[in-house]
Amino acid sequence: MKKQTNAKPSGKTKPSKLRIISGEWRSRQLPIPNIEGLRPTPDRVRETLFNWINHYVPGACCGDFFCGSGALGLEALSRGAKQLTFVDNSKQVTRQMQENLSTLNAKNAQVVQQNSAQFLETATPQALDIVFLDPPFRKGWLGQIIPLLERGWLAPRALVYIEMEKEASLPELPSHWQLSKEKTAGQLVYRLFEVTQAGHQ
């Protein structure tokens, strides 16, 4: 999950670890940056999410935007995703992501240090089968990101996972995004949408 872009390490705690739950790298622990506000998706939330999507992950092309710790994308790679694009605006985050991918000898992922909205607006669209959206809370990012995904970034029948603060409202969604699953955990709510047609170019 994500952090304030300009946040600095607090220096008060030992480096945090991310544990991969299942798949090729099951139980592997990887360091994540000690950045204020960086909050990896809790294990039980990840477990529920991947129970929802496990049959769709092998061979899938995925995007982990606002990747933060990379918990969602790394879990997908461990479970057989074909390709993963990690995007985050933080140099510290993307450097650690590169190091963790190197540790895992993962060759089928790219890491981009860029604002996720700018990336989706300027990069050549790639049809993604699964998109993970876990933006910083209370910043209004979803309202910017969702329309950009419709510019050719979604494969037919794509799945879009959205994690957000429980008290917030979803922005207006395209009519062909159908809510498939929804749960709450503490102060967050997480939802899975199925795109019933590909986004337009």
Residues with pLDDT less than 50, the chain: 1-14, 199-201
What phi and psi, each to the nearest 5 degrees, are found at residue 185?
Answer: -150, 105
Quote the pLDDT of residue 62.
98
Quote the pLDDT of residue 198.
52
Quote the pLDDT of residue 146.
95
Measured CA to CA, the distance from residue 172 to residue 164 in angstroms comes to 15
Quote the pLDDT of residue 138.
76
Quote the pLDDT of residue 160.
98
Classify residue 19 as exposed, middle or buried by CB count within 10 Å of its CB (0-12, 13-18, 19+).
Answer: middle
